[in-house]
Chains A and B, each alone.
Chain A
Amino acid sequence: MSSVAARDPRPCFDVQAARREFPILQRMVHGKPLAYLDNGASAQRPSAVIDAVDDYERRHHANIHRGVHTLSQEATALYEGARDSLVRFINARSRHELVFVRGTTEAINLVAQSFARPLLKAGDEVLITHLEHHANIVPWQIVCEQTGAKLRVVPMDANGEIHVESAEALFSQRTRLFACAHVSNALGTVLPVRRLVAAAKARGIVTLVDGAQAVAHAAVDVQELGCDFYAFSGHKMFAPTGIGVLYGREALLERMPPWQGGGDMILTVSFEKTTYNALPYKFEAGTPNISGAVGLGAAVEFLRGLDLKAAHAHEHALLEYSTRILGGLDYLRIIGTASAKASLVSFVVAGVHPHDLGTILDQDGIAIRTGHHCAMPVMEFFKVPATARASFAFYNTFEEIDRLAAAIARARSLLT
């Protein structure tokens, strides 16, 4: 095991200060300090988010966009204020382009049903990649079944990388839509999204980027990426569950029919004819997750208050360190060795099933994800039933990685 002194000296990100912002990190699990290494599944919330939600619930809650009373106005201002924060966060052109949804999954389903379904004809093609999360596979399979379109898949190389040329080879006259992850949840691969999108756009193909794993780890600028749609979830970027965002280019959202009908998405309703509300409300039928949106807005403001460059550098150092330490165990195989990776390591340990490893690590207070990561085609590709995955946030430490490596060694000596 490397000593502290052997680690790369890293500039000036105060991890301990960051940790103090997250109350849950003080918790003990089975008598050991929690080492939370499952941020890819869901990240923890800072006090700023917890307090914002608490304050909303205690002082400001009412339904939005309706009442003329004080609370309704306050709730509306908080909800719409969160939207404005998010517009700035991803550099959308306007608040018309930012639709609140339950999460990435709902965002992709919305695009599949509202954008793709009316567009696709039998024989058209939807293109995805091999490393997608099920949420970026199944909605397209459903819409392909509904329309007679074909789902095609850009292959992945042995490192878990997706090459622009591989996508280009599959773009055809019939390709109507290209959807890909920004970052692979199972492998950590950062896809060359800007170039993939540019290649698709050059052929007039509409693009959707699944940003669920990206938003917490990189500054996302949707205009710079150039994609038509970008989807992400709040809970993977330190906000509550049940709230997320669909960014869509206004011209496209404008053309799309509503996907759910109900209150708030209408202008006028009579039994003969309903006229729909303006963007983004056309896509926000019913009373939304107001407190979730408030929490997401608070998470964005929290991130703006951080030195994100230093935070991301720290995450990268964690990736390098864990790759070195875990990669040094001769019985451990890292799954996903792309040259550009987000801060997560997926691996298998010879003689130790990931599920057993997860249970044994939990007894040491270490939380990792084990399983197929909702990416069964990726597991199939690497010929493993499941992997263990340690996924880091800027509040994780090198000591936690040392604990992880030591616990893996103990698990192996117990089971083999």
Chain B
Amino acid sequence: MDIKDLYRDVILDHNRRPRNFGPLEPADVSVEGFNPLCGDRLTLRLRMADGKIADIRFDGQGCAISTASASLMTEAVKGLTRPQALELFDRVHRLLTDDSASPEDLGKLAALSGVREFPVRVKCASLCWHTLASALHSPAAGDLPAVSTE
């Protein structure tokens, strides 16, 4: 096991220069994710239009895995419908936890597959995705209580 399996170039790049980072005003949905294990906090804001994610941005502080995963996620889900985004959540969740899950067709998100070799770090990568699922399961607007990976 090499440390570069976890910290692949795509991950390092998205950690150094996170995409879609910062506030989103106005937003239809704002959800906070918190990982009590490491103190990572992330706020995800979405703007919905025609049943699609018209815009999505995040901010907060987290480790490289958490930041890169959130950055990659915002790129991947922008423009998707709710069912499409939730399906992607399921695929990424399987990718992070199931050794047999294939990263095929996942594009840049395939870089997250290295995380499953580091079980204590899976929650870092999945925090933003759980936060997204929570946002998508909410009424389209308004803040919700914080979700937790614990």
Contact = CB atoms under 8 A, between A and B. Distances in A.
B38 interface: yes
Contacts of A356: 7, 63-65
B111 to A, nearest CB: 15
Contacts of B121: 355, 359
A386 B61 CA distance: 10
A30 interface: yes
A415 B39 contact: no
Interface in A194-233: none
Interface string B1-30: 101001100001001100000000000000
A355 to B, nearest CB: 4
B41 A385 contact: yes
A385 B7 contact: no
B38 A414 contact: no
Contacts of B124: 355
A25 to B, nearest CB: 23
B64 A415 contact: yes
A181 interface: no
Contact of A359 (B40, B61, B118): B118
Given A379-B39, A385-B40, A355 B3 contact: no
A243 to B, nearest CB: 26
B8 to A, nearest CB: 11
Given A30-B1, A379-B39, A386-B38, A414 B63 contact: no
B33 interface: no
Contacts of B118: 359
A376 B33 CA distance: 17
A316 B106 CA distance: 52
A144 to B, nearest CB: 23
A354 interface: yes
B64 A386 contact: no
A30 B7 CA distance: 17
Interface string A364-385: 0000001110001001000001
Contact of B38 (A354, A376, A416): A354
Interface string B56-70: 000001111110000
A95 interface: no
Nearest to A379: B39
A163 to B, nearest CB: 28
A67 B73 CA distance: 64
Contact of A385 (B3, B6, B61): B61
Interface in A319-375: 352-356, 359-360, 363, 370-372
B39 A386 contact: yes
B64 to A, nearest CB: 5
B80 to A, nearest CB: 28
A371 B39 contact: yes
Nearest to B12: A415
Contacts of B12: 414-415
Given A372-B39, A415-B12, A355 B7 contact: no
Interface in B109-141: 118, 120-121, 124
A371 B62 contact: no
Given A356-B63, A359-B6, A416 B39 contact: no
Contacts of B64: 352-353, 356, 415
B61 A414 contact: no
Nearest to B120: A359
A359 B118 CA distance: 8
Given A414-B3, A415-B12, A353 B63 contact: yes
Greatest chain A CB density within 10 A among B38, B62, B65, B124 is at B38
A386 B63 CA distance: 10
Contacts of A415: 7, 12, 15-16, 64
B62 A353 contact: yes
A414 B64 CA distance: 11
Contacts of A355: 38, 40, 63, 65, 121, 124
Contacts of A372: 38-39
A30 B63 CA distance: 22
A371 B37 contact: yes
Nearest to B118: A359
B123 to A, nearest CB: 10
Contacts of A379: 39
A370 B37 CA distance: 9
27 contacts: A30-B1, A352-B64, A353-B64, A354-B38, A355-B38, A355-B40, A355-B63, A355-B124, A356-B63, A356-B64, A356-B65, A359-B6, A359-B118, A363-B3, A370-B38, A371-B37, A371-B38, A371-B39, A372-B38, A376-B39, A385-B39, A385-B40, A385-B41, A386-B38, A414-B3, A414-B12, A415-B64
Interface of B: 1, 3, 6-7, 12, 15-16, 37-41, 61-66, 118, 120-121, 124
Interface of A: 30, 352-356, 359-360, 363, 370-372, 376, 379, 385-386, 414-416
